[in-house]
Amino acid sequence: MPGMKMPGCPDTASQQPSGGQPGQAPNNAASNAAAQGDLMTMRPQTFLQGIVHHAGSGTSFEPVSTPTPMLMTVKRGWMLMLHGNAFVLDQQQSGARGGDKFFSTNWAMGMAQHAVGRGLGGGVFTVRAMISLEPATITGRRYPLLFQQGETAFGAPIADGQHPHDLFMELAALYDMKIGGKGLLSFYAAPIGDPALGPAAYPHRASAAENPLATLGHHQQDSTHIAADVVTVGLAYGMARMEASGFHGREPDENRWNINQGKIDSWSARFTLAPGKDWSGQFSYGRITSPEALAAGENQERMTASVMYNRPFASGNWASSAVWGRTQSISGGASGSAMAGVIFNSYLLESTMRFRRRYAAWTRIENADRSNELILGEQPPPAGFEERRAGRVQAYTLGFDRDFDFVPYVATAIGAQVTVYGVPDSLRAIYGARPAGIAMFVRLRPSSTVQEKGQ
């Protein structure tokens, strides 16, 4: 499977960077494939090829030059791919609200692609399945993450913790049809999937590939990456793309082993721009119906914007993202009128650099509004409770890891990261002035790269 040379793709056995982060320029085979206008290729060279590559969740897009560590082969005309990430970690946090836990965050995605027809109507058919074992590897229905809010555990709101992902993160079928020399029409359908709202979700961003923990702005930026009954249509031309989605707005319930379903009651639209191989940006807007189980009468308006930059170099890669997310609750009255609620904003800057083939260093900086529900802890809000902003929290993370050759075709790293927090005055009596957390981990991911001995 690994090392097989595929038509229009480079020989994976010749790649050097450990950790599955190819940093070398594409070879002549990949360049020829791009020149011929082929949509299916292991290393995309154009915006349209990058879309059809479908390396992330849903129809999200990162810069064309972004490397994707994976195993690939071709069987009877089908291009088969497997990639993912798994962290086994111990998390320690300070302060009265801090928690300590040993757990694993993880996901794996299998994908198959096949060319269909020629000429008008011809294109690429893709099926994809993404799973996570977090329902088993994260006990207690959450792991400790200071200042995090969102979803429930045992019927109570989660505070200072992150929920696990569902077993089925995505089950999707996609069809991409080329229109002329510069156009692409795309269709996406998924009983569980990711609508066109927000950037590539944090578990799938190259700029966050070595970070085992969730972002504080997850529920303002990209929490719809696991949504029920998603349909998306997209049209790309030149360096721009426009998408529209319909989906079921309710967040996944606490039974993380099942497949949630519901009527399509929410919608979103996303505009993506890719002015070069190393850059991409998006702006998206969505109206989400009743996303939270404990506030079933509240709908949500969400806006996000992001810019991503990726730069490959001889012995590594540098990936960065800047993300903004904004949510506002919209309460519908009996007459159908809507009442606007409080606005929450979150801002993120993250960057990961892989260098000297084996090493990676990263940072994540966040500035996120928090709700006064955080003050209640994991107690249900009392009667008459009104949600409002409690203040804005900052989180500063630095991390480092190193790859080792423990298992063939599995990129294995040992690393650690430290996070310190800036706490607003309104929350200092509960959290203290400077809480912090440290996570030590082993990271594993499928990789077809071959590390030379002695490097």
Q: What is the pLDDT of residues 129-157, one digit of tens each?
A: 999 999 999 999 999 999 999 899 999 89
Give me the chain's average pLDDT, please.
88
3-class SS of residue 195: coil
Q: How many CB atoms lie within 10 A of CB 100?
A: 11
Q: Is 92 exposed, middle or buried (0-12, 13-18, 19+ CB in 10 A)?
A: middle
User: Minimum mean pLDDT among 173-182, 301-310, 380-389: which range?
Assistant: 380-389
Q: What number is the average pLDDT over the span 427-441? A: 96
What confidence score (pLDDT) does residue 296 get? 85
Model confidence band, residue 449 (pLDDT cutoffs 50, 70, 90): low
pLDDT at 160 over 50: yes
Separation between Cα atoms, residue 192 and residue 173, nearest integer Å: 11
**252 to each of 59, 106, 168, 407, 431, how far by Cα in Å?**
20, 17, 11, 35, 29
CB neighbours (10 Å) of residue 442? 17
- Has residue 34 got a pLDDT over 50? no
Contact 48, 178 (CB under 8 A): yes
- Angle 321-324-326 (CA atoms, 0-180°, nearest 5)? 155
Say yes or no to pLDDT of 107 above 50.
yes
Cα 76 vs. chain centroid, distance in angstroms?
31
How far is residue 420's CA from residue 438's CA, in Å, rounded to a whole number?
Answer: 9
pLDDT for 120 equals 65
Encode pLDDT of 408-433 as tens digits: 999 999 999 999 999 999 999 999 99
Residue 153 and residue 148: Cα distance in Å, rounded? 13
Rounded to 5°, angle at Cα 71 from 67 and 76: 120
* Residue with more model confidence, 431 or 43: 431
The pTM is what? 0.89
